[in-house]
Structure 1
């Protein structure tokens, strides 16, 4: 199984640096890391070119113009460009523990997607982690929430992984999907712009298509850096309600609008390092 990681980012290269360095030190490396960029300034591209000099796996940068928050479109471009059979999604402020990719790979099952978990940091903790460029925190780290998600306990992880179909706790910041399942449901709904509900709406269509969910707890660990609370785009609630009411499997404006663009794989940034 080839595994692609798709990381979405927007104008926070300091956080992205930690995210990408954490992925580079995984016990099992992904086959590629695709950074899909919702219109960042040039300093993000500069960071990526610097990291590419000695990055241990294929590294891709996809950029789209800044035209408001278009996370669904950015993620769909990442899916379309991915060469892997399986895709793990991270936000550009999610710092993965070093076994995270190995455990996502181990937990992948046909007919299911995997919902990962996260440790939440306070503003003070996040500032400290960024300043020290730290990739790890422990159970006793001050000023964190969901402290239990610092604990890696493989036996408990297996016990939590029974398939189910709940919307509770859906979040795309740490998510694993088979790529062909995403193609079948047409990826993220690009009618949903601004912040919020695009992950719930995709999960609803996945359930309507017959998929189930496995939770990755006490494994697949990741640290979520603090950021300001965002305002929900209220129109997205209506789109989610429509998907639920109509039992939709595919969205109208989604992944299929980008597949032709990436029939040929985008360049590996490492190819330009010499």
Structure 2
């Protein structure tokens, strides 16, 4: 399908991980049209890394930043997506290295009125010294230091046979491996910025997409990412975000009031 793809990468103060992620994007078999770093308030180190890497990066690389006022992933994603020139969004976290067919697998799965989501292989804590020391971005089924290695099998045909569309919210869904049409995102007013702090911001977004009639499709045995181990984020606002999500599901909401529209010039 001939469509412009924006790869949106969220990050916060972890340049070592972000460097590996950007290195893995450079080796993609199909490159995105543009890459935007959605930076939730990192210090100068992140800006310096991006300025260095963009000098020989194969596609336009943009740094979208706002001040650090705590976990505001919803706001920085809305702000970044409002600035894209692309029709289709692939979302990724800055601690997730991508398989060389990551972008092409999402591209292969694109359909109208459909969002896509994949799973992740986990890189273990004991492997981090080797990972960063060797700047490792390629992993086989037998690489040491990874778990959930069955997810590291790349067989797109098998995935298509086993998994079809669905109109329910999957527990397998992760915002670090998610894609959708920008027009569908804007039609529900994007992320709900009332949700601050870690948790449920991605699934609440998808719940409203489903309520709008957009169906999901799981990318099994394709669109593989490798999540780098880190300490868990604080979950002190999870109960609040849970309540916002449950309200959206119960009321079959297709719109949030505090969303992306404030950044879009009509």
TM-score (norm 2): 0.95
1:256, CA displacement in angstroms? 0.7
Which of residues 6, 9, 22 in structure 2 aligns to 1:7? 9
CA distance in 2, matches of 1:160, 1:117: 15
Contact persistence 2:9–2:35 (CA under 8 A): yes
User: Runs ≥4 in structure 1, deviation > 4 angstroms?
Assistant: none
Which of residues 240, 247, 250 in structure 1 aligns to 2:245? 240
CA distance in 1, matches of 2:70, 2:262: 19
CA distance in 1, matches of 2:39, 2:78: 11
Q: Would you say 1:153 and 2:146 are equivalent positions?
A: no
Q: What is residue 215 of structure 2 aligned with on the other side?
A: 212
Q: What is residue 114 of structure 1 aligned with on the other side?
A: 116
CA distance in 2, matches of 1:110, 1:182: 13
After superposition, give the CA deviation of every residue in 1:242-269 in whole Å (9 maximum; x if it has no partner). Answer: 1111110011101111113xx8xxxxxx
Q: What is residue 32 of structure 1 aligned with on the other side?
A: 34
Which of residues 43, 63, 66 in structure 1 aligns to 2:65? 63
Matches for 1:1-274 after TM superposition, within 5 Å: 1-167=3-169, 168-232=171-235, 233=237, 234-260=239-265
Contact persistence 2:119–2:173 (CA under 8 A): no
Instruction: Evaluate the alpha carbon distance shift between residue 111 and residue 52 of structure 1 in structure 2; reply closer, same or farther with a 3 A threshold.
Output: same
CA distance in 2, matches of 1:161, 1:104: 14
Structure 2 SS opposite 1:76: helix
Q: Which runs of 5+ in 1 are unaligned?
A: 264-274
Contact persistence 2:123–2:228 (CA under 8 A): yes
TM-score (norm 1): 0.93
CA distance in 2, matches of 1:257, 1:134: 40
Structure 2 SS opposite 1:110: coil
Q: Which runs of 5+ in 2 are unaligned?
A: none
Contact persistence 1:38–1:64 (CA under 8 A): yes
Instruction: Evaluate the alpha carbon distance shift between residue 195 and residue 37 of structure 1 in structure 2; reply closer, same or farther with a 3 A threshold.
Output: same
CA distance in 1, matches of 2:129, 2:242: 32
